[in-house]
C-alpha cells in the first residue's frame, strides 16, 4: 500500500513538472504587426499565467469576469438620462454593433479632438447621446460596460492606429514608457521588455500587454481597468501614480496597445 501511494505521488509530481515544462514551451510567440516594434516577438500575458489561471479564463462558466459581462448586458438595455434612451436604442444588437470595437481602441475621436479609450468612449455616449451622468472611473457600471464591450472582440487581433491625428498621443505614450521614475528609478521596459520570462519576487514577468483588459485579478477579487494596473506598476517602483483616465495614462495605453498590435483580444482575462 505504502509503495503504491509513493508511486502515485511521484507520478503526480512528474506530471506537474511536465505540465510546467510544457507551459513554457507552448507559449505562443508571434512577430509584431509593425516591424518598428522594439519587441522581436510578442506574447500575451496569458502564457505567463499558471495553467490553473488560464483554465479559469478559458471557460466562460468558470471565468469570474462573466458576472461583469452579464451586468454590462443589463446596463446596455437600461433606459437612463434625459434623452430617455438605452445604449441598445441606438446601437441595437451588441453582437453586431460592438464587434471589433474593442480591438481598435484607444482611438482618435473627431469631436473630442483627442485620443480616447473605451471607458471614455462609453462615457461620451452617456453624456452626448443619452444626456446622462458619466460613470465614475473604476466604478462597477463602467467596468461592466467596458468588459461587455470588449468581449465582442475576443479572438480578434489588436489593431490600434497610431498615425495621423493619433501620432502625438503615441509619441507621448512612448516617452512615458521609457521614462525612469520613482525611488527605484525604473521604466516599464526594464521589467517588461528586457526581463520578461524572469521572476520578480513571486511573479513571472510578462511583456506587460493590454490585450486582456479589463481583467479579473485574483488579487483584487474583482475586475479592474488597465489604469488600475498602471497605478500598481507605478507604485511598485515607488513612483507617484497618475489619476484614472488621465491624459498621461491614455497616451500610455495607446502606445502599449500598439506594442501588442497583432495579439488576440482576451478581455476580460483572468490574471493573478
Ligand atoms: C442616442 C443614440 C446613442 C446612445 C443612446 C448611445 N450611443 Fe453610442 N454612439 C452613438 C453615435 C452616434 C456614435 C458615433 C460617434 C458619436 O457621434 O458620438 C456612437 C459611438 C459609440 C461607440 C464607438 C463605436 C466605434 O465604432 O468607435 C461605442 C463603443 C458606443 N457608442 C457605446 C455606447 C454605449 C455603451 C452606450 C450606452 C451607455 C451608448 N453608446 C449609447 C449613439 C448613441
Ligand atoms: C519592477 C518591475 C515592473 C515595472 C517597472 C513595471 N511593471 Fe508592469 N508588471 C510587473 C509585474 C510583476 C506584473 C505582474 C506579472 C506580469 O504580468 O508581468 C506586471 C503586470 C503588468 C501588466 C499586466 C499584464 C497582463 O497580461 O495582465 C501591464 C499591462 C503592465 N504591467 C504595464 C506596465 C507599464 C505600462 C509599466 C510602466 C509604467 C510597468 N508595467 C512597469 C512589474 C513591473
Q: Where are the domains of the chain?
A: 26-63+156-271, 66-151
Q: Do the domains 26-63+156-271 and 66-151 sit in the same CATH topology, yes or no?
A: yes
Q: Report the C-alpha gap between 269 and 150 in whole angstroms.
A: 11
With bands split at pLDDT 50, 70 and 90, how would you rate the model's confidence at 81? Answer: very high
- The catalytic residues are 233
The CATH superfamily assigned to 26-63+156-271 is Cytochrome c-like domain (1.10.760.10)
CA-nearest residue for atom 3, ligand 2, is 191
92, 129, 144, best to mutate for ligand 1 pocket (most atoms within 8 Å of CB): 129
pLDDT tens digits for 182-228? 999 999 999 999 999 999 988 999 999 999 999 999 999 999 999 99
Q: What is the pLDDT of residue 26?
A: 73
Q: Does residue 42 carry a pLDDT above 80?
A: yes
Q: Which CATH number is associated with domain 66-151?
A: 1.10.760.10
Q: Is the CB of 99 under 6 A from ligand 1?
A: no
Q: How far is ligand 2, taken at its centre, from the CA of residue 85, in Å?
A: 39
Q: How far is ligand 2, taken at its centre, from the CA of residue 119, in Å?
A: 21
Return the closest-CA partner of residue 52 out of 61, 43, 62, 65: 62
Mean pLDDT computed over 68-93: 98
Q: Is 203 helix (H, G, I), strand (E, B) or coil?
A: strand
Percent of the chain with pLDDT over 70: 91
Q: Kindly list the protein residues whose Cβ atom lies closer than 6 A to any atom of ligand 2.
A: 45, 48, 186, 188, 190-192, 200, 203, 205-206, 208-210, 212, 215, 229-230, 233-234, 236-237, 252, 256, 271
Mean pLDDT computed over 122-131: 98
Q: What is the pLDDT of residue 11?
A: 47
Q: Does residue 9 carry a pLDDT above 60?
A: no
Mean pLDDT computed over 134-140: 98
With bands split at pLDDT 50, 70 and 90, how would you rate the model's confidence at 13? Answer: very low
- The ligand with the least distance to the CA atom of 142 is 1
Q: Is 177 helix (H, G, I), strand (E, B) or coil?
A: helix
- pTM of this structure: 0.92
Summary mean pLDDT of the chain? 92
Q: Is the CB of 130 under 6 A from ligand 1?
A: yes
Return the closest-CA partner of residue 173 out of 129, 97, 226, 131: 226
Residue 184 CA: nearest ligand 2 atom is 1
Residue 218, judged by CB atoms within 10 A of its CB (0-12, 13-18, 19+), counts as middle
Amino acid at each position: 500500500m505504502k509503495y503504491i501511494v509513493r508511486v502515485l505521488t511521484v507520478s503526480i509530481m512528474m506530471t506537474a513538472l511536465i505540465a510546467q515544462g510544457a507551459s513554457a514551451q507552448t507559449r505562443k510567440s508571434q512577430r509584431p504587426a509593425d516591424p518598428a516594434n522594439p519587441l522581436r516577438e510578442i506574447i500575451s500575458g496569458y502564457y505567463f499565467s499558471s495553467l490553473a489561471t488560464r483554465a479559469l479564463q478559458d471557460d466562460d462558466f468558470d471565468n469570474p469576469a462573466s458576472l461583469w459581462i452579464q451586468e454590462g448586458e443589463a446596463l446596455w438595455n437600461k433606459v437612463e438620462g434625459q434623452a430617455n434612451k438605452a445604449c441598445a436604442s441606438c446601437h441595437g444588437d451588441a453582437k453586431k454593433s460592438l464587434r471589433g470595437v474593442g480591438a481598435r481602441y484607444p482611438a482618435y475621436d473627431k469631436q473630442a479632438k483627442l485620443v480616447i479609450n473605451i471607458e471614455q468612449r462609453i462615457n461620451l455616449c452617456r453624456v452626448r447621446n443619452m444626456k446622462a451622468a458619466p460613470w465614475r472611473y473604476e466604478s462597477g457600471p463602467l467596468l461592466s460596460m467596458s468588459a461587455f464591450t470588449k468581449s465582442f472582440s475576443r479572438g480578434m487581433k489588436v489593431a490600434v492606429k497610431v498615425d495621423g491625428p493619433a501620432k502625438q498621443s503615441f509619441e507621448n505614450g512612448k516617452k512615458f514608457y521609457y521614462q525612469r521614475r520613482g525611488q527605484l528609478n525604473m521604466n516599464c521596459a526594464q521589467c517588461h521588455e528586457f526581463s520578461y520570462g524572469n521572476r520578480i519576487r513571486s511573479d513571472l514577468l510578462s511583456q506587460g500587454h493590454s490585450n486582456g483588459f479589463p481583467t479579473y485579478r485574483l488579487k483584487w477579487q474583482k475586475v479592474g481597468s488597465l489604469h488600475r494596473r498602471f497605478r500598481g506598476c507605478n507604485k511598485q517602483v515607488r513612483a507617484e501614480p497618475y489619476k484614472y483616465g488621465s491624459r498621461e495614462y491614455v497616451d500610455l495605453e495607446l502606445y502599449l496597445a500598439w506594442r501588442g498590435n497583432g495579439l488576440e483580444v482576451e478581455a476580460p482575462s483572468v490574471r493573478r
